[in-house]
Amino acid sequence: MRRRFRLKEEQVAGLLFVSPFIVGFLIFSAGPYIASLYLSLTTYDVLNPPNFVGLQNYIDLASDETFGKALYNTLYFVVFHGPTAIAMALILALLLNAKVRGVSIWRTIYYLPQVTPAVALGVLWLRILSPNNGLLNSILAGVGIQGPAWTVDADWVKPSLILIRVFVVGTWMITFLAALQDVPQELYEAASIDGANAWQRFRNVTLPMISRVIFFAVIAITIFSMNVFDIAYFMFPPQVFGGQLGPQDSALFYMVYLFQQAFSYFHMGYAAALAWILFAITLAITLIQLRLSRYFVYAETSK
Amino acid sequence: MDTGTGEKNRTLTRRELVRRSALFGGAVVVAPIIAACQPGATPGASTSPGASGSTAAQKVTIRVWGYGLDDARAKARLNVFKAANPNIDVQPVGGTLNTQQLLTAVASGDPPEVINTDRTQVGSWAGRSAIDPITDLIDKDKFDMSQFYPATVEQVKYKGQTYGVPHFATIDLFWINNKVLSDAGTDPASVDPGNWDQLQSLGEKLAKVSGGKVTRTGFDTKMQDGRLYYWTWANGGDLFSSDGSKAQFTDAKAVEALTWARDAVKKQGGEKARAAFSQTQDFFSPNNPFLIGQTAMTIFEQWLLGVLADPGPNFAFTVLPPRKRNSKDPLTTVTGGAFAIPKGVKADKRLAAWEFIKGMVSTDAWIAGQKATFMDKQSKNQKYTPTITGNIKADQEDMNTVYKSIGPSYDAAIKTWQTALNAGKYPYSGPVAQQISDLVTANVNDALQEAKQPADALKKLNDDAQKAIDDYAKGPGNK
């Protein structure tokens, strides 16, 4: 006997609950996604009809030196920004989790960079990192270190951007703090009774218990880093560096290059191909991270 | 609490709660969408013919993008136009013209009636059919284009058709800080902008560098900011064929110019040190680097005069028209804006747009604008310096009647403008102008930062520029 497929009542309810996203996705996102996939197979400048060229845009990417430079800059940022941002957020969360006075004030102060517009951050940090009279190099000079030319030396531009973003971790700091406060106190008590010191309690109790949150942060920060745009564009605007994003295009990130191709040069088809390649790379990295998560993420299951 | 027994009729079960919440949530999402799809659903929307555009009294509304009313000049000019054209209602939208906004407006068939765009972009817009030629309108009214400087008129042409009307002009001039040179034992009057050997040696002599840090730039070629065009022209070369279809960056004259500029900055501490020093400077302030002697000599645009006037009315400086190499002949770069009419503008509105353009660039409108600016500055106790409008007669009237002497250096500087304007050339303004501009500065900076040899940087620039031109020729949007 054939069984008719019927949704259970709770399945219907679930679908209705997620309907705001589904409807929004279908109306505002699905169309542009499909259109961009098609446009990536065309040459298109918005004003004239798209011209189908098959995979030519993807083939051209292989020989595009600037694409390679933008991808390298972006992966550099991902590799170094991700771990430093997570470490900073975790350290701040651990400090705030300690029973110190005025926690809410500290929390607000550390959260401030998160809500500061990227333009303001860029201007502020250009002053701090100014090679000749910036605050950071003045401090370094005070302890006998000659600071680098952060903003004009191509080798130091990306580290300076990573340094700036390391202070913009307010959201993750709050998330980690919530996770820390969720760790059952009895686990610490049990560990203490067993003679564990502070480091051992952190290593064997805290880290495993918040590992799922850290893993989520790793994925989210990786995706954010792949899409980094604003801070590079505002700190090293092409108008200042003569058409370049920082000296020798050292701050030319993937999304900046994509924006340039689409809206400065009207290469919409090529830009669409760039977007899909970025999607594929991000998806691949995320899948690898998911695969590796079984070795690092503590799963609390009841069997 | 749900007991799971006969209390279902009176007590909300968990399942019921879930079901009702979900239905409510779904309804919240779907209802506005359904409502929005109903004809005439948008509150305040009107389908009456007079809601926008023309009215029964044939009043025509035109939208002008890239023209804001944020200064006295802009307001006064518009008032002159409005007084003469009461039947045309102008809706200006300020700020720099938004490329994305214009593209989508033209693509959707609802463009603004007039745009105020950078002249280097006219070829880009024209090549992609985003703006229409206005040659027919010029011919119809026998509109005199010779009222504008020749270089500005040439720059708004594309494939033999005129696509815009010049609106403002910016020229490069040669600036000398008299005191810095005199203190170094050099007579400012002895400086010859056409003598490259002198410029390089003076640059080295006047520069102050210690511990790898620059504290004074002797001579700034501004090569890092796109001046490859000027220095190559001055050296007798050109970067493009006359029709703009062939890149010529490997021209020996261009290589020589870039090598000379690289050496000039190298002798003054190097490009990195120069860039680091420039980041400490506050250009739009009483601490302007040229005013306070942090820059001894430079090529820069004429509006620097306005930056200097208030903090330094007694400042002694010399301004010369830039010259061809080893020659007294003037030569400079002229850039600026243009009014143009986008594609898809309806016939009646196109005529109104044309009236607006003619009115706004008329001598009367410009002089009214300059006088209003003068009064505005005077009320704020600020100095007035002329602006180059592009309209030759308006500029002469401005310099002769509106401008009031600030000091001998300022008066002499303004007198050089006419000479420079008559010897103006403009950079590549074809359909891939933005791409070429970015390529020029990127590759030039690679050479200045000594990441590449000048000849190698220009070879790469030539290849990439030619590819951009050829790709465009295959069809718009080609990469």
What are the chain A neighbours of B441 within 8 Å (beta carbons)?
241-244
Copy the structure tokens of residue B360. Answer: 């706004």
Q: Where do the domains of chain B lie, and which CATH numbers do they carry? A: 60-169+336-374 (3.40.190.10), 171-332+431-472 (3.40.190.10)
- Average pLDDT on A143-147 reads 90
> What would the pLDDT profile of B417-470 be if each residue is shown by its tens digit?
989 999 999 999 999 999 999 999 889 999 999 999 999 999 999 999 999 999
**Chain A residues 154-183 with a CB less than 8 Å from chain B:** 154
Mean pLDDT score of chain A:
90
Check residue A5 and report its DSSP letter: P
Residues of chain A above pLDDT 70, percent: 94
Over residues B316-369, the pLDDT tens digits come to 999 999 999 999 999 999 999 999 999 999 999 999 999 999 999 999 999 999
What pLDDT is attached to residue B38?
45
User: Which among B26, B103, B225 has the least Cβ separation from residue A242?
Assistant: B225
Confirm if B95 and B66 have CB atoms less than 8 A apart: yes
pLDDT band at A241 (very low <50, low <70, confident <90, very high): low
- The mean predicted confidence, pLDDT, of chain B is 89
User: Residue B51 above 70 pLDDT?
Assistant: no
Average pLDDT rounded to a whole number, residues A107-122: 88
Closest alpha carbon to B261 in B217, B209, B221, B299 = B221
B477, A151: Cβ pair inside 8 Å? no
Distance from CA of B384 to the nearest CA of A (A): 27
What does the pLDDT read at residue B9?
43
Q: Which residues of B touch A244 (CB under 8 A)?
A: 438, 441-442, 445
Environment class of B422 (CB within 10 Å of its CB; exposed 0-12, middle 13-18, buried 19+): middle
Q: Which of A17, A47, A65, A128 has the highest number of chain B CBs within 10 A, making it the mutation to test binding with B?
A: A47
How does pLDDT run across B385-429, given as a tens digit for each residue?
999 999 999 999 999 999 999 999 999 999 999 899 999 999 999
pLDDT, tens digit (0-9, with 9 covering 90-100), for B54-63? 444 589 999 9
Strands B157-158 and B213-220: unpaired
Burial of B3 by CB count in 10 Å (0-12 exposed, 13-18 middle, 19+ buried)?
exposed
Residue whose tokens read 């030759």: B392
* Band of residue A303 on the pLDDT scale cut at 50, 70, 90: very low
Which A residues, 273 through 302, put their C-beta within 8 Å of a C-beta on chain B?
none
Instruction: Note the pLDDT of residue B96.
Output: 84
Nearest CA in chain B to A246: B442
Nearest by CB: B19 against A9, A50, A249:
A9
Residues of B in contact with A260 (CB under 8 A): 438
CA distance B446 to B461: 11
Rounded Cα gap, residues B375 and B258, in angstroms: 45
User: Over 70: is that where the pLDDT of A235 sits?
Assistant: yes
Question: Which residues, 6 or more positions from B462, have their beta carbon under 8 angstroms from its beta carbon?
Answer: B247, B248, B249, B250
pLDDT band of A9, cuts 50, 70, 90: confident
Contact yes or no for A244 and B437 at CB 8 A: no
The size of the A-B interface in CB pairs under 8 A is 142
Range A290-297, long-range pairs (CB < 8 A, 24+ positions): A290/A219, A293/A215, A296/A211, A296/A215, A297/A211, A297/A212, A297/A215
| pLDDT in the model for residue A4 | 65
| Chain A hits for B467, Cβ within 8 Å | none
Q: How confident is the model at residue B13 (pLDDT cuts 50, 70, 90)?
A: low
User: Average pLDDT of B246-256?
Assistant: 98
- Of the candidates B286, B302, B282, B313, the one whose C-alpha atom is nearest the C-alpha of residue B383 is B313
> Is the pLDDT confidence value at B178 over 50?
yes
pTM for the whole structure = 0.86
Interface contact B29-A268, CB threshold 8 A: no
Nearest chain A residue (CA) to B214: A132
Instruction: Name the minimum distance, in Å, from the CA of A173 to any CA of chain B.
Output: 32
Confidence bin at B476 (pLDDT 50/70/90): confident
User: Tell me: the pLDDT tens digits for B204-232?
Assistant: 999 999 988 999 999 999 999 889 999 99
Q: Please give the DSSP secondary-structure letter assigned to residue A239.
A: T
What are the sequence ranges of the domains in chain A? 65-296
**Residue B354 near residue B137 (C-beta atoms within 8 A):** yes
Proportion of chain A above pLDDT 90, given as a percent = 67
pLDDT digits (tens, 9 = 90+) for B284-294: 999 999 999 99
Contacts of A136 in chain B (CB under 8 A): none
Q: Which of B129, B220, B478 to mutate to test the interface with A (most CBs of A within 10 A)?
A: B478
Chain A residues lying within 8 Å of B100, measured CB to CB? 263
Q: Could you read off the pLDDT of A51-107 as tens digits, one per residue?
A: 999 999 999 999 999 999 999 999 999 999 999 999 999 999 999 988 778 888 888
Q: Which amino acid is residue B184, in one-letter code?
A: A
Reduce the secondary structure of chain B to three states and give it as a string: CCCCCHHHHCCCCHHHHHHHHHHHHHHHHHHHHHHHHCCCCCCCCCCCHHHCCCCCCCCEEEEEECCCCCCHHHHHHHHHHHHHCCCEEEEEECCCCCHHHHHHHHHCCCCCCEEEEEHHHHHHHHHCCCECCCHHHHHHHCCCHHHECHHHHHHCEECCEECCEEEEEEEEEEEEEHHHHHHCCCCHHHCCCCCHHHHHHHHHHHCEEECCEEEEEEEECCHHHCCHHHHHHHCCCCCECCCCCCECCCCHHHHHHHHHHHHHHHCCCCHHHHHHHHCCCCCCCCCCCCCCCCEEEEEEECCHHHHHHCCCCCCCEEEECCECCCCCCECEEEEEEEEECECCCCHHHHHHHHHHHHHHCCHHHHHHHHHHHHHHHHHCCCCCCCCCCCEHHHHHHHHHHHCCCCCHHHHHHHHHHHHHHHCEECCCCCCCHHHHHHHHHHHHHHHHCCCCCHHHHHHHHHHHHHHHHHHHHHCCCCC
Residue B47: pLDDT band by 50, 70, 90 thresholds?
very low
**Secondary structure of residue A43 in the 3-state scheme:** strand
pLDDT at A7: 74
User: What is the predicted pLDDT for the residue at B212?
Assistant: 87
**pLDDT(B270) > 70:** yes
Is there a contact between B18 and A10 if contact means CB atoms under 8 Å apart?
yes
Provide ipTM, 2 decimals.
0.83
Chain B nearest CA to A240, separation (Å): 8
- By Cβ distance, the residue of B29, B213, B441 closest to A243 is B441
Q: What is the mean pLDDT of residues A160-179?
A: 92
pLDDT surpassing 70 at residue A291 = yes
pLDDT bucket at B11, cuts 50 / 70 / 90: very low
The two three-digit tokens of residue A133, written as one number? 């009279």
Suggest the residue from B279, B456, B461 to mutate for an interface test with chain A (most A CBs closer than 10 A): B279
Task: Please choose, from the candidates B273, B315, B268, B269, the residue with its C-alpha nearest in 3D space to the C-alpha of residue B292.
Answer: B315
Contact residues on chain B for A24, CB-CB shorter than 8 A:
29
Residue B41 to chain A, least CA–CA distance (Å): 18
Residue type, A147: G
DSSP state of A49: -
What integer is the mean pLDDT of A193-207?
Answer: 92
The distance of B290 to chain A (nearest Cα, Å) reads 18
Instruction: State pLDDT tens for residues B135-176.
Output: 999 999 999 999 999 999 999 999 999 999 999 999 999 999
In CATH, the number for domain A65-296 is 1.10.3720.10
